[in-house]
């Protein structure tokens, strides 16, 4: 198998052109191949001397076509080396626009035949990403990497980067529409990934949050209905999600008046604002709907009991009688503590159990919806804490002044 062996001080770009040209013309015999290889090398040299980096990129990519279309003819390390040298052309470009043109050419080649060595192609795209100084260029390359990972069925190679998306978006400075496209592309990748339900739900949220409900979006917000439904079902289905902001998102609230999806919205409303009895009524009337969306009744009851316990925590001013829990959760007296333990284990409740008085004393609980009312409540609490701290500081200072005055008087008396 042919391999790049660097035995001279030849310019790396010329070495790549020579290497790819020799491979391309190898079957033609030396009489035909040698003049063609020489011609391509001379042409490349002229581009380098004249600083025509876009022309150089076109020449190198044309020469590298054989390697990309027939990757078995060259070792992976050599293919990666060739492509990395081509990518380095963006650092030589005379302007940002020229660098973006070169980037576009490279991405066009790498995203063709995505099923051939997708991992290597993605690795090269990430190298190209790191070479680009332009935030726009970085965003463009990342989008191409998403497309390649999807088409090449190589999601596992790009999913680790999703944890950095927030910092990427900040760095790129992309607008709301571009963010929407990005989040939708990521949800498409995560949708069928096992063990990624939480991440899938988070990116569905990010996508849906890009719809602000403005008049400008009236023609496009309807496109988000299926994702809105998917987010609702993921939330209801999840055993570790007890809070979300979906209910008042314009992309989700549009379902309330949608003939096809209004019952799904009603289900979300039940889980976020109502109690177990409301769910049981809904299930009795719509059991087929729940099955169609893959929801298991017993699991929904379990979650709804925990949600009802959160509702009690909000309504009972921090102290919940056992009797109220048995009624709301529809359980026996001897099951109360079992459900309290389950809530604590789910990290949605912090409390103490007073077995003697048959009460649960709640010190903290998760709010199912954290909207404006909850923010106002938090502001009030912070105000009270601030006042208490100020009062404590004033008391300490007053005691200190008194103590210092007493010590001063004692000093005078001793003299």
Nearest Cα to Cα of residue 206 among 264, 160, 165, 257 = 165
CB-facing half-sphere around the CA of 104: CA atoms within 13 A:
8
- pLDDT of the residue at 229: 98
What pTM, to 2 d.p., does this model score?
Answer: 0.81
**Bridge partners for 352 per DSSP:** 361
pLDDT of residue 402: 67
DSSP class of 8? S
pLDDT per residue, tens digit, the chain (415 aa), is: 444 444 344 588 888 888 888 887 777 777 777 888 889 899 999 999 999 999 999 999 987 877 777 666 778 888 899 999 999 999 999 899 999 999 999 999 999 888 888 999 999 999 999 999 999 999 999 999 999 999 999 999 999 999 999 999 999 999 999 999 999 999 999 998 999 999 999 999 999 999 998 878 888 999 999 999 999 999 999 999 999 999 999 999 999 999 999 999 999 999 999 999 999 999 999 999 999 999 999 999 999 999 999 999 988 878 999 999 999 999 999 999 999 999 999 999 999 999 999 999 999 999 999 654 443 444 554 555 576 676 667 777 767 766 666 665 555 555 5
Helix (H) or strand (E) holding 321: strand 319-321
Residues 303, 236 contacting (CB under 8 angstroms): yes
The reported pLDDT for the residue numbered 395 is 74
Distance of CA 249 to the CA centre of its chain: 18
Q: DSSP 3-state assignment of 133?
A: coil
Token representation of residue 258: 């949608």
Task: Say if CB 229 and CB 261 are below 8 A apart.
Answer: yes
pLDDT of residue 97: 94
- Do 208 and 231 form a contact (C-beta atoms < 8 A)? yes
Query: Of 314, 166, 165, which is closest to residue 242 (Cα–Cα)?
Result: 314
Residues 157-192: pLDDT tens digits?
A: 999 999 999 999 999 999 999 999 999 999 999 998
Report d(CA 174, CA 177) in Å as an integer: 8
Give bridge partners of residue 361 from the DSSP assignment: 319, 352
Q: Decide: helix, strand or coil at residue 174.
A: coil
Quick one: pLDDT at residue 410?
Answer: 59
From residue 273, how far is each of 2, 69, 201, 270 by CA, in Å? 67, 57, 20, 5
H/E stretch holding 363 reads: strand 359-365
Measure the CA–CA gap between 99 and 105, rounded to whole angstroms: 10
Cβ density class 353-375: b for 16+ within 10 Å, e for less: beeeeebbebeebbbbeeeeeee
What angle, 0 to 180 degrees and rounded to 10, lies between the N-to-C axes of helices 135-151 and 118-131? 170
């Amino acid at each position: 198998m042919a391999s790049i062996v660097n035995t001279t001080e030849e310019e790396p770009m010329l070495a790549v052109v020579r290497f790819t040209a020799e491979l391309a013309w190898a079957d033609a015999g030396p009489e035909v191949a040698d003049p063609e290889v020489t011609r391509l090398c001379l042409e490349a040299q002229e581009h380098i001397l004249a600083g025509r980096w876009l022309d150089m990129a076109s020449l190198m990519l044309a020469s590298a076509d054989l390697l990309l279309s027939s990757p078995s003819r060259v070792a992976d390390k050599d293919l990666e080396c060739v492509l990395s040298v081509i990518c380095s052309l963006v650092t030589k470009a005379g302007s940002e626009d020229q660098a973006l043109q070169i980037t576009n050419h490279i991405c066009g080649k790498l995203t063709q035949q995505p099923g051939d060595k997708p991992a290597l192609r993605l690795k090269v795209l990430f190298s190209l990403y790191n070479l680009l100084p332009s935030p726009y260029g970085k965003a463009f390359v990342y989008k191409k990497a998403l497309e390649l990972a999807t088409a090449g069925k190589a999601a596992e190679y790009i999913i680790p980067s999703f944890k950095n998306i927030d910092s990427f978006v900040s760095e790129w400075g992309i607008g709301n529409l571009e963010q929407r496209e990005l989040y939708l592309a990521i949800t498409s990748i995560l949708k069928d990934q096992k063990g990624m339900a939480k991440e899938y739900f988070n990116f569905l949220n990010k996508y849906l949050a890009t719809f602000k409900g403005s008049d400008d979006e009236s023609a496009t917000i309807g496109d988000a209905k299926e994702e809105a439904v998917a987010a609702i079902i993921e939330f209801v289905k999840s055993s570790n999600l007890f809070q979300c902001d979906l209910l008042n998102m314009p992309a989700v609230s549009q379902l309330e008046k949608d003939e096809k999806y209004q019952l799904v919205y009603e289900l979300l409303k039940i889980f976020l604002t109502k109690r177990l009895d409301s769910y049981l009524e809904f299930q009795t009337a719509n059991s087929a709907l729940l099955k169609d969306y893959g929801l298991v009744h017993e699991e929904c009851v379990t979650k709804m009991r925990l949600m009802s316990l959160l509702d009690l925590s909000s309504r009972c001013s921090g102290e919940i009688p056992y009797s109220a829990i048995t009624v709301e959760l529809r359980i026996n007296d001897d099951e109360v503590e079992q459900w309290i333990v389950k809530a604590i284990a789910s990290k949605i409740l912090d409390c103490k159990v007073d077995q003697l008085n048959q009460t649960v004393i709640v010190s903290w609980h998760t709010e199912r919806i954290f909207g404006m009312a909850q923010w106002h409540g938090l502001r009030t609490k912070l105000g009270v804490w601030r006042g208490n701290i100020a009062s404590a500081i004033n008391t300490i200072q007053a005691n200190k002044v008194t103590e210092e005055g007493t010590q001063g008087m004692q000093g005078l008396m001793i003299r």
